[in-house]
A and B are shown apart, each in its own frame.
Chain A
């Protein structure tokens, strides 16, 4: 039976795998062949992943968002920048 597959491409030594698109194919062998012919005609990637759409797990957006509100995982460096400014201002006033 025809199944839908998702296609991912990656250039050697560069970046991550990226989603390129989808295709319909009758079996895995055809899926890989069609992926090459539909998505890699002009060197768009060196590595090719083809994944059956029913095997891709999708997390619920609300589940993904759970970590958004975690300011302690970041540091914008503003405290240090503030001190640098203080030191510079002091040096300018008393050279």
Chain B
């Protein structure tokens, strides 16, 4: 008797099994793709679930940040762009929560509850306050570019099939955001002196969080590397980001807020050593704006409870 997909998702694994971790890792090294119903090792299931949950939380928190700027965006076109981007980010969160929920560790409502109670994590860059419109552009371009680079690196060689498939859509949509982002940056850069200065001030606030997003240098036994979730080491991605964005920002006439920044003829642009204690504190939801951000997200979910209740009642 065939089962239904709903029964299968709720039930025990029925797909492929592996004798031990060595066999599983050999499967991954040969380019194998794991599917939701496979009997994957518990350590892999948990680690990949946590990674996707972190990504989902970050998309949701990023979308809510973006939403705050819809009423403040100057002009109808930018308001439309911000509406669309907000919908994209919340949409990404939804896709990711569905994929995460199907791993059987937590339901979607449980993940939201944990996020709003501050029990789970989201990207460091959404723990800071955006003060001016230029801050939001720094987020929409520089910070999104950092997140985009790390997502693209996951997409490249992702061993978990359902995650790889939603990443394809997410990466494509982030590409649109990048183009909007650079155009908005260009308008400030080439605008009035005040606009130019406003972006420089935003860059001074956001450069470090963006560079920190990649995290400290990868350890040699990072399970996410071994299990083909991450395809590149943190420091490789960070270095590539610096090579692209230092000259780009300088080309628009901005100064990188790093006195130790230097150019090496062989290695390229090198930034000062990073003090990782800030990132560690931020990722424990102890960043400058963490509490307000989490409270705002929780409040927004609570404020819309009546919509969900009305839909349930009408169904």
Partners in one complex: yes
Contact status B2-A54, CB under 8 Å:
no
Residues from chain A with a CB closer than 8 A to the CB of B3 are 57-58, 60
A59 x B98 contact (CB < 8 A)? no
Q: Which residues of A contact B9 (CB under 8 A)?
A: 4, 53
Contact residues in B for A22 (Cβ distance below 8 Å)? 98, 102
A23 close to B (CB within 8 Å): yes
Known: A6-B5, A53-B9. A60 touches B14 (CB 8 A): yes
> Which of B7, B16, B95, B311 makes the CB contact (< 8 A) with A54?
B7
Selected contact of A56 from candidates B5, B14, B314, CB within 8 Å: B5
Given contacts A22-B98, A22-B102, A38-B91, contact A27 B315 (CB under 8 A): yes
| Residue A55 is within 8 A (CB to CB) of chain B in the complex | yes
Closest Cβ–Cβ distance, residue A6 to chain B (whole Å): 7
Interface residues of A in 10-36 (CB under 8 A from B): 20-24, 26-27, 30
Does A74 count as interface, using CB distance less than 8 angstroms?
no
Q: In the bound complex, what is the Cα–Cα distance between A58 and B315 (angstroms)?
A: 27
Count of interface residues, chain B, beta-carbon cutoff 8 Å: 31
- Minimum CB–CB distance from B117 to chain A (whole Å) comes to 21
Q: A53: shortest Cβ distance to chain B, in Å?
A: 4
Query: How would residues 92 to 110 of chain B score, 1 for a CB under 8 Å from any chain A CB and 0 otherwise?
Result: 0011001100100000100
Q: Mark B77-103, 1 if CB is under 8 A from A, else 0.
A: 000000010011001001100110010
Q: How far apart are the CA atoms of A66 and B39 in the complex, in Å?
A: 21
Cβ–Cβ < 8 Å partners of A61 in chain B: 14-16
B312 close to A (CB within 8 Å): yes
A5, B6: Cα distance in complex, Å: 9
Bound-state CA distance A54–B99 (Å) is: 17
Are B311's CB and A24's CB within 8 A?
Answer: no
Q: Which of B2, B14, B108 contacts A57 (CB 8 A)?
A: B2
Contact, CB under 8 Å: B95 / A55: no
Residues in B lying within 8 Å of A, measured CB to CB: 2-9, 14-16, 84, 87-88, 91, 94-95, 98-99, 102, 108, 165-166, 169, 173, 176, 308, 311-312, 314-315
Q: What are 17 contact pairs spanning A and B, CB under 8 A?
A: A21-B95, A22-B98, A23-B98, A26-B311, A26-B314, A27-B311, A27-B314, A37-B87, A37-B91, A38-B91, A39-B169, A41-B88, A41-B173, A42-B176, A44-B169, A52-B6, A58-B3
Extra A-B contacts (16), CB below 8 Å, given A1-B315, A61-B16: A2-B312, A4-B6, A4-B98, A21-B95, A21-B98, A21-B99, A23-B98, A24-B108, A27-B314, A37-B87, A41-B84, A42-B176, A44-B169, A57-B2, A58-B5, A60-B2
Q: Give 3 nearest A-B pairs by CB, closest first.
A: A27-B315, A56-B5, A54-B6
